[in-house]
Amino acid sequence: MNDIKIPLLREMNRTPEYLFWVGCAGAFDPRYRKVTQSFAKILLHLGVDFGCLGAEETCTGDPARRAGNEMLYQMQALQVIETLNRYHIKKIITICPHCFNIFKNEYPDLGGHYEVVHHSTFLKQLMEEGKLILNPEIFKGTTATFHDPCYLGRGNGIYEDPRKIITTAGITLTEMKRNRSFSLCCGAGGAQMFKESEPGHTEVYAERTREALDTGASIVATACPFCMTMLSDGIKKEGREEDSQNFDIAEIVAKGLGL
């Protein structure tokens, strides 16, 4: 992964404490690969015992299930479970709420039982334990608004962890009118990420982007690759790239650590 040496399970002679599940976007999307790199740098900097599957990692099957292809989902999920069990994986960290949700709530039905944590919760826990200390001067005078990913917020009730990271970094948090359980979807959920909007359908991502920009925040933060793609596109469509930047929680932490 560029100049970062990531420990791969196939090269390790033991099972690490955590599997860092990169996800499709984290591996292939140019923008979200930067998030993957930021989070990997954090893990290495803090000495977390982790490993990645690398080329052995495949899709969890979440998009297939959301699109209604149950057979393909089960084929993909069973393949992933077989791989994880071969490496005796017990704990998984994800940077994608969609991967987090399906591992946590749906894989058990197919025999895949793992302790799963989203990276925002993992980083917040390290902060509370005193293992992760950010320099608040780096973001001094910066304002941010946080967009709640559906599968992180409404799907799993995680609202405060990413916000705690933002404020701990010394950033002033300003909320959108619709936030937490009332947050508007970015428009990419339910496999909508991979298709065009229906004719006459309001572009949800554009509406949500305008809500974020209306806060006047210089950072539009989120913790999901789908949300990042949609909000980044929305910011470009509004011609506001110079006013607001789209950051993932991991990127805020990495910058706060000086990485």
Each of the 259 residues of the chain gets a pLDDT tens digit; together they read: 556 788 999 999 899 999 999 999 999 999 999 999 999 999 999 999 999 999 999 999 999 999 899 999 999 999 999 999 999 999 999 999 999 999 999 999 999 999 999 999 999 999 999 999 999 899 999 999 999 999 999 999 999 999 999 999 999 999 999 999 999 888 776 656 656 666 655 588 888 999 999 999 999 999 999 999 999 988 988 888 877 889 999 999 999 999 9
- Select from 95, 39, 27, 93 the least CA-distant residue to 254: 39
- How much is the pLDDT for 239? 87
- How much is the pLDDT for 190? 64
- How much is the pLDDT for 244? 82
Separation CA 95–CA 248 (nearest Å): 9
pTM above 0.85, yes or no: yes
CATH assignment of 9-124? 3.40.50.1860
DSSP string, 90-150: -EEEES-HHHHHIIIIIGGGGT---EEEEHHHHHHHHHHTTS----TTTTTT-EEEE---T
What is the number of other CB atoms lying within 10 angstroms of the CB of residue 108? 11
SS3 content of the chain, % helix, strand, coil (to 5): 45, 10, 40
- How much is the pLDDT for 199? 60
Fold classification of 134-256 is Rossmann fold (3.40.50)
- How much is the pLDDT for 242? 77
Separation CA 87–CA 89 (nearest Å): 6
Asked if domains 9-124 and 134-256 share a fold, the reply is yes
Domains of the chain: which residue ranges? 9-124, 134-256
Separation CA 227–CA 129 (nearest Å): 29
